[in-house]
Structure 1
Amino acid sequence: MATRLQRIVPLTALLVLALTTSACDTPSPAPPVKSSKNSADSHAPDASASSGAAASVTIVGPAPSDLHDVDWTKTPAPGAFCGVPDLVRFDAQGQATAKSTVWGKVSLMRGRTVLYGDTDGDHRDEAAEYLGCGDGVTQNGQILAAYAVYTHVGKNLAVIGTITPRKKSAAYGTALVGLDFSTGRIVAHEKWYRTNDPHCCPTGDATTVWYRHGDRLTPGTTHVTS
C-alpha cells in the first residue's frame, strides 16, 4: 500500500495563531455552486451524481481525476463549522470575513497545507483542507479549527464532512495538529489547553477517530493521551 495512505502532517503554531488575525476587505461567503444542465460545459459540476450522494455531501465544483491537482486557492470551503451557512471563498492571502449565525461577524482563514489520504480504498486520495474561524478582533480570538474533507462524487468535488476538535479546552480553542488516514477512518490529533496553559502552547493531547460510512463522516470516542 502506498505510504501516503497514512500520514500525520503537523501544523505549526503560526497556523493556530493565524486564527486571531482579522481579514480586511475580504470577500463575503460564496453561494453554493449550482449544477449546470448544459452537458457540453466541461467546467460545470457533474449532474449525474446520485440523489443519495447529493443528499449527504456538498458539491463545490468539478474535480480533476487526482485531487492533488485541485487549485485550493480558488476552491470554496464550507463555513458551517463556524455557523456560516454558505460556502466561503478566500482571498489571495487565504482570508475571508462572513456573518456567523452563532458569533456574528467572523474572520475565516484556510491553511496553506492540504493533507491527503485514501479513506475508501479506491487508490485515489481524499483531501483535507485546514480551516480556522476567529472573532477577527481580539488577539486571542480563536473560535474553532476544522478540516474540511473532500472527495470525488462522480466528476464532482464534494465535501463529505468537517472534522472539528472534540476535546474541550479550559481556555481558548482546541487546536487540530494533524490527520492520519486509513481505509474507513481518519484519526484527528488535537492539542487542548489546560487551565494554566499560555495561548502559544497547549499541553494536552487527544485523538478522535472519525469514521467514513459511504460519503459521510461521523466522530467516534475521543481519547486523551496526555
Structure 2
Amino acid sequence: MASRSPRVAVLTALLAVLAALAGACGSPSPAPPVGASGDPAGPASPSASRTTHPGAGPVVVGPAPEDLREVNWAKTPTPGDFCGIPELLRFDSGNEVRATSTTWGTVRVYRSERFEYGDTDGDQRDEAVVYVGCRDTVTMNAQITSGYVVYARVGDDLAVLGSITPRRKDGAYPTLLTSAEFTPGGITVHERWFRPNDTHCCPSGDATTVWLREGDRLTPGTTRVIS
C-alpha cells in the first residue's frame, strides 16, 4: 500500500483537530440553577434585595402566626418597589427610613402605624394592609408617590402579596390614596387625583379601583372615576 504524502498527512490531522473543537463547542455545560436571591443555587432570603411588582406573586418576609394581628410589625420589612426602591425596607427604629430610589434618588419612606385587616379569599383568616408614602428630601414634605402594601399568610409564611399603587393621574401632582376597603375577592382603593388646574392643596378628582386577589397575586381591575 502506497504511503501518504506529507501534505495529505498534515491536512488529515488538521481536519481531525477542527472536528474535535466543533464537537466541544456544540455541547456546552449547563449553567447552575439560579436561586431566588440571584446567586447560583442560592436559597431565597427575606433580607435579600428583591423587587416586587403588582401581580408578581408573594415575597416571603418571615414566619406567620395564625392571626396576623399578632405580627410584630415594627420588625417586619416592607417593599419599596412603589417608589423605585428595589430592596426591602426595615422600620426597626421608627416609622420613617431613608433609601435610594432608582427614579428619584435619596427619598424618605414613611409607613403608617395603623394596619387594616380583612379576608379577601374567604379562608376565614385576615390579610393585612398598611399605607406607605414616599417623600423627597428637598422640601422635606412633598409626597412623590404612595402605596398600600398587602400582607398575607401563605402556608406558614408571612408574605407580601404586592403593592397597590394609584391608577388615575391627570394633573401635575401625584395621586393620593385615601383608604382601602376589604371586599370579597379583593381590595377597593379610593384615590384623590389632581386635574390640570387643581392647586397642590386640593385634588378635585375622585376614583376607585378594585384590586383583585387571584391566588396569591394582586391585579388591578378597572378604575372607576366618581368625580
Whether TM exceeds 0.5 here: the answer is yes
Moved over 6 A (4+): none
1:132 equivalent in structure 2: 133
Aligned equivalents of 2:76, 2:134: Cα separation in 1: 17
**2:225 counterpart letter in structure 1:** V
Q: Which residue of 2 aligns with 1:89?
A: 90
Q: Which amino acid aligns with 2:118?
A: G
Q: How far does the alpha carbon of each residue in 1:25-81 deviate from its partner, in whole angstroms, 9 at most, with x for none?
A: xxxxxx95269xxxxxxxxxxxxxxxxxxx821111111111111122221100111
- CA distance, structure 2, for counterparts of residue 32 and residue 167 of structure 1: 34
Once the two structures are superposed, the pairs formed by residues 154-173 of structure 1 within 5 Å of their partners are 154-173=155-174
- What is the match of residue 46 of structure 2? 33
Report if the CA contact (8 A) 2:116-2:129 is conserved.
Answer: yes
Partner of residue 72, structure 1: 73
SS in 1 for 2:86: coil
Partner AA of 1:213 in structure 2:
E
**TM-score where L is the length of structure 1:** 0.73
**TM-score normalised per structure 2:** 0.73
Query: In the TM superposition, what is the alpha-carbon distance from 1:169 to its structure 2 partner?
Result: 3.8
Q: Displacement of 1:120 after TM fit?
A: 0.7
Asked whether the 8 Å contact 1:32–1:87 carries over to 2, the reply is no
Compared CA separation, residues 98 and 139, structure 1 to 2 (3 A): closer
Q: Look up the equivalent residue of 1:134 and give its one-letter code.
A: R
SS of 2:94's partner is coil
| Bigger radius of gyration | 2
**Does residue 180 of structure 1 match 2:193?**
no
The alignment status of 1:196 with 2:197, answered yes or no, reads yes
CA RMSD, Structure 1 to Structure 2 (Å): 2.0
Question: For 1:125 and 1:109, how far apart are their aligned partners in 2?
Answer: 24
* 2: CA distance, partners of 1:221 / 1:172: 22
Tell me the residue number matched to 1:149.
150
Partner-residue secondary structure (3-state), 1:205: strand
The AA in structure 2 aligned to 1:194 is R
Gaps of 5+ in 2: 1-43, 49-55
Higher normalized contact order (CA 8 Å, seq sep 6+, divided by chain length):
1
1 CA distance for matches of 2:204 and 2:76?
33
**How many Å apart are 1:150 and its aligned residue?**
0.4
> Hey, what does 2:212 align to over in structure 1?
211
What is the CA–CA distance in structure 2 between the aligned matches of 1:135 and 1:192, rounded to whole Å? 19
Q: SS in structure 2 opposite 1:110?
A: strand
**Which residue of 1 is the match for residue 108 of structure 2?**
107
CA 1:91–1:197: 2 relative to 1, 3 Å: farther
Q: Deviations over 1:72-131 (max 9, x none)?
A: 222110011111111001253300111111211111010122111100101111001111
- Sequence identity (%): 56
Q: 1:133 to 1:34 in 2, by over 3 A?
A: closer
1:16 is aligned to none
Q: Which amino acid aligns with 1:57?
A: P
Q: What SS is found at the alignment partner of 1:81?
A: helix
Q: Give the equivalent residue in structure 2 for 1:25.
A: none
Secondary structure at the aligned position of 1:146 is classed as strand
Cα distance in 1 for partners of 2:216, 2:86 equals 20
1:196–1:79 Cα change, 3 Å:
same
Structure 1, gaps ≥5 residues long: 1-30, 36-54
* Separation in 1, partners of 2:87, 2:78: 9
